[in-house]
Structure 1
């Protein structure tokens, strides 16, 4: 797989038009440092921009820091007991978008309030009766993340600063809009031209850059440059401010550039055709 551009998007599920947590970083081939594309993004802006990359045929590897699907393999369904439970990820994206159609800013509050869906989620003040005891359900690749000594959260958990469920749900609405314009690995076969979307986990990039367990956030220029150097990147141009979202996106873009040419990462040992249709996979998890 060869690409000319590498883009990492730190996502946000905040139910506002322009979430502060949305950050986009870009880097080209070579050793140049990633740069932050600062546009006060909305989710709709990002969907439109990614569509434009597809229209121009830009050969970009685009990492989205979100989970594109819920666990399926463990129960044989996303939502056991619900007749509307979708059979695969594209159908899941369509369902989330349909039930959230009246939510502004591509939020997904209506989906998790649906009487059948809400039973599976842990929300603030409302833990569904089908949310299992403990940390909740996990995808196969999330067990792989744990094996890498990372700390994934269940997509069905919508509580806490580290929850990923809200980001995942809003991301599914964007993926539904991009369906047929940009393929997402591994749900779609890798195209010979044009852009490709993959799921990323920004803490994975930080860990591979040498950041020790228990610390996963970069909040200063020197640390960011040290982490970028681990992926063969030059030092970055100073930022007006350093926050987790900006530095996560920049480091992940540099990592994507270094990782894209690794054949093993495109052929994870535990990724089956069934998982490729239903749960997907985090790029970088073996």
Structure 2
């Protein structure tokens, strides 16, 4: 890992709207001892503002590793298809991103809600008030390994009910990834691209992995004392004075902990070539960084 790398984490959301309390951004800059919150220019982040900020970072050619907490692809290994029984064909995960964009392009700020109500596709999802006939709680290969390797259960992208749902966030995130790649092809999106030592590399993360590494277990962090204990276990210093009088949300603590955790583990070459990942999984599903 490049010694000048900045480690950044984004706690993401798939909610409707433009300015989101559910988005938090944190970074651990090269030479810094502790992560800090990156604040939005307009009070709260929009998804578009996050994307534009990343593109500005890419122009600076500063090595930056950015982790997002959404799924970069859908399950494919288990059934050999994203939507078994439908006549859609996708050669890669990026092809599916194009499909998501096609079905949701009229929605602002990368919102992707219409996708899960698309005739035919809706039968694969369980959302409030509706359970599709083809719905199953399918998981990607990395999500299955996440459980096997001791990091707990991952929610299926097809299950759109409750606070742990990740489907809508993932589909909006796929729109954002597509946008980044089209605006600047030099933005690396792992595992399809290798780490870019002269710019931005985007990876998928699971915040619980870093909470567990920091000794917190699966519990969310909502106070400075618990946050600083986890940061210390990850080799980072305590949060600064700017958070002394701030209500700390679990969105922000997840971002801060992930930024610190990425610095701790990103130099491990085994994580960049996970031994449990099959070629099909990497091509169609993507992978969660930190799962071996």
1:79 and 2:68 aligned: no
- State the match for 2:24 in structure 1: 23
TM, length-normalised to structure 1:
0.95
- State the match for 2:118 in structure 1: 114
1:41 pairs, out of 42, 45, 49, with 45
Is the 8 Å Cα contact of residues 89 and 187 (structure 1) preserved in structure 2? no
Alignment of 1:122-137 (within 5 A): 122-132=126-136, 136-137=137-138
Find the aligned partners of 2:158 and 2:193 in 1 and give their Cα distance. Answer: 24
Q: Which runs of 5+ in 1 are unaligned?
A: none
Find the aligned partners of 2:199 and 2:25 in 1 and give their Cα distance. Answer: 19
Summarize the Cα distance change of 1:218–1:280 in structure 2 as closer, same or farther, 3 Å threshold: same
Find the aligned partners of 1:169 and 1:21 in 2 and give their Cα distance. Answer: 16
Find the aligned partners of 1:54 and 1:82 in 2 and give their Cα distance. Answer: 38
1:269 and 2:237 aligned: no
2:258 pairs, out of 252, 262, 265, with 252
- State the match for 1:7 in structure 2: 8
Is the 8 Å Cα contact of residues 121 and 156 (structure 1) preserved in structure 2? yes
What number of residue pairs does the alignment pair up? 281
1:189 pairs, out of 185, 194, 215, with 194
Is the 8 Å Cα contact of residues 74 and 157 (structure 2) preserved in structure 1? yes
After superposition, give the CA deviation of every residue in 1:93-147 in whole Å (9 maximum; x if it has no partner).
Answer: 1110111011122111111111122111111111111112xxx100000011111
Find the aligned partners of 1:11 and 1:237 in 2 and give their Cα distance. Answer: 23
- State the match for 1:171 in structure 2: 173
Query: 1:216 Cα deviation (Å)?
Result: 2.0
Find the aligned partners of 2:249 and 2:216 in 1 and give their Cα distance. Answer: 16
Is the 8 Å Cα contact of residues 185 and 196 (structure 1) preserved in structure 2? yes
1:157 and 2:159 aligned: yes
Q: CA RMSD in A?
A: 1.3
- State the match for 1:223 in structure 2: 226
Is the 8 Å Cα contact of residues 151 and 212 (structure 2) preserved in structure 1? no
SS at match of 2:68: strand
